[in-house]
Structure formats: C-alpha cells, structure tokens
Amino acid sequence: MSQEKSAIKKIRATGAMREVMAEYFAELDEAAKTGSEKIAWCTSVGPAELLRSFGFLVYFPENHGALLGATRMAADLIPAATAAGYSPEICSYLTSDVGSYLSKTTPLTRAFGMESVPKADVLVYNTNQCRDVQDWLGFYEREWGVPMLGIQTPRSVGDLSDAIVGGLIEQHKALIPHLEEISGRKFDIDRLREVMASSHRCTQLWREVLRLATHRPSPITFFDCTIHMGPAVVLRGEERAERYYEVLIAELEERIADGVGAVDDESLRFYWEGMPVWGKLRDHAEQFAGHRACVVASTYCNSWIFDALEYADPFEGMARAYTEIFIVRSEDFKQGYMESMVRDYAIDGIIFHDAKTCPNNSNNRYGLPLRLREQIGTPFVVIDGDLNDLRLYSEEQARTQFEALVEQLQEQPA
C-alpha cells in the first residue's frame, strides 16, 4: 500500500494555548526563584484541587515527562536514570524525568526559558494510576528532603463500593493538617468548593471538545487533543483553563458549521487505546491523514473528565472523581466503556498501543481486544512501542500493522 503523508491542519487556538501555558510556567519559575509562593508537585490525577485551595502553585511532573518525550530528549536522558539504579523497563516518564534532573537538562529551558524544573515544597501523589508515581516523587523526596504525601487507591475496581469511597475520603482529609503546616494557611472548605467548581466546569468544557469529534468529519484528531489537553491537566481549577476551552470550542464549532474536517475527505475513524508515542505524534498524525483516516477518540484524552467533582461534599467528589477513571477500573468496566465509545464515535477500528514501560496504560495484555472483537466485531491492531523511549518502537512495524488494518477495513463490504 502506498504511504502518503498529509499536511496537518493547524488549530488557530494553539497560539492562545501556548500563551496560557507560558504564563503558568512563568509563575512557577518566579515562585521557585523568589519563594514568593509555595509549590506543590502533584501527579496528574492527584488532588490538585485540594492543593490549589491552600494557595500552592501546582506543578505536574508527568507534563514534564510528556515534554521530554515530545522533544525526543527522553532516550538520551534515560541512561542517566539507569546509571542511578532505575531500570529502563519501568515508567519512561519517570526515567526520562529523573535522567533530565541528573543531567541538568530540561525542555523547559527552550520552551519557557526556565533553567530547571521548579523545586517542590511538597510532593503529593495518588497511586490510582500506578505505583511508579510514588517511586518517582520518592526520588525528589530523598533528593530535596521535602515532605511527600499520598493517597493509596485500589486498582482493578469494578463498582465503587462505599467502603472504597469512604477510605479514600478519609485519606484526603488526612492530608489537611500536613498541608496546613507546609502552606502556613488554614484549610478553607469554601475555597476548596470554589476550586472544585472551576475544575468541574473545565472538565465539562474539555468533554465538549472531545464530543465534537462525534461529528463526521471530525473537527479534531486525537493527536491535536493530546496537545490541547494541556490546560485541562495543569490548570484545572483555574478560570483561565475554562476561558481557553471556550475559545477552542468556538473554533471547532466553526469547522463543523463549514463542513471542515481535521482530516481531508475523512473515510475511516479510529480509536486510540493507550498512551501516545510522544516523539511520533506528528508522524502518526500525518500517516493517518495520508490514508484519510481520523483518530477521533481515545482512552487517554478522556481520562481528564471528572464528573464527580460536582458532588456537594468536596471530599466525596475528589474520592470518586479520581477513582472512577478508566485506568483504575476492572477489565469488565473497561470493555463496557470501550463498547460505548466505539458506538458513540462510529469507530471503524481500534489501535492498541502496547507501551512497554507502562503496563498500566496498555490494555491489550489481558484479552480485551479479542473480547471486544467478539462482542462488537471491531477490528484492531496492537502496536508495540512506548510513550517516551523510542528505542522500544519500530516505525516500520507500526506502519505495516496500521496499513494492514486499513486494507482490511477497505476490503470490508460497505
């Protein structure tokens, strides 16, 4: 099959997003240099709202991990972490970030003029996504001698029982005295409610962005969404994230009204399961567009929708919101979720990315692709690769597998 590459359509709002992100990093840099405000590091689906309610500026190391992948710096930096005892087979966000720290090199310098990552006053994790986040922040706890706090969440959860939710509520409440001491501020439940309301509005706007891809042709691709989810990840709970998504939604609605798709002459629609291959985003976007194929939905980008943040009790809201997400759930839940996504987005085929250093976000390993095909008949391929470590990814193999799936779909009777 001939491989065509197609130009990627630029989203105008990207400029506004870059400004918002630059402002966010400038504030962190200033606080780290002057000590004007306290900085909390938080894992991506950790209790960011609680931290913001205490006035912390919140930094997300996974965002730095993604930058290390997207700039293709990761593979050069991982060996420094390996030399410090971190296996190249564990999370490559962790190893590239630790390698970056040990090598005193960060993509934040080129992107935002920062000499280094902002030093934390407190490190806060939630193991809802994996144990690696605790080990990751543990490196900085030892390095800087700053406190580390955490939430331990059970995994493979089917129904959220009262016992699970109750335990998580207590764990969130137990953080308060520590955060009061570190921040020097008293806990203010009204402030927490305000932050959570803003975070919930941000979630709803982000959901709207993703839902617009149910249109045919879709105005946005998964590859666009991995970039535009930045404010939902690092600025949820702040109004500027909401304002940004209003701008993005207006542009996407304009595309829909004008019949403009993100991919010209869209003919096939795909679901991407698993992490992006950050260093290959552009290549993948061009490759799919070259086949008039649009990746319209993904588990990854949907993971920043937190409906439960609107609960009247903010602690129950956080406990539920950060446990309801896909990565925490049982195989049966995941199958049901993907079946509904395939239906809602009119998906023709599924790409499972088996990210070698992230078993937590690779859902091809326990029979799910075959069960889905048996249940709803959706063809799939499994692409071997990694989020950051490009030494684990074969361009040729991925292309061949993807093209085989396209051929299979094109041969199917209409």
What does the binding site for ligand SF4 look like in residue numbers (CB under 6 A)? Answer: 62, 91, 93, 129-130, 132-133, 358, 360-361, 387
Cβ closest to ligand SF4, residue 129 vs residue 221: 129
Cβ closest to ligand SF4, residue 281 vs residue 347: 281
Cβ closest to ligand SF4, residue 182 vs residue 382: 382
Cβ closest to ligand SF4, residue 335 vs residue 360: 360
Q: C-beta of 85: minimal distance to ligand SF4 in Å?
A: 17
Q: C-beta of 396: minimal distance to ligand SF4 in Å?
A: 25
Q: C-beta of 327: minimal distance to ligand SF4 in Å?
A: 7
CA distance 257 to 242: 23
Cβ closest to ligand SF4, residue 276 vs residue 317: 276
Q: C-beta of 383: minimal distance to ligand SF4 in Å?
A: 16
Q: C-beta of 241: minimal distance to ligand SF4 in Å?
A: 21
Q: C-beta of 63: minimal distance to ligand SF4 in Å?
A: 11
Cβ closest to ligand SF4, residue 92 vs residue 183: 92
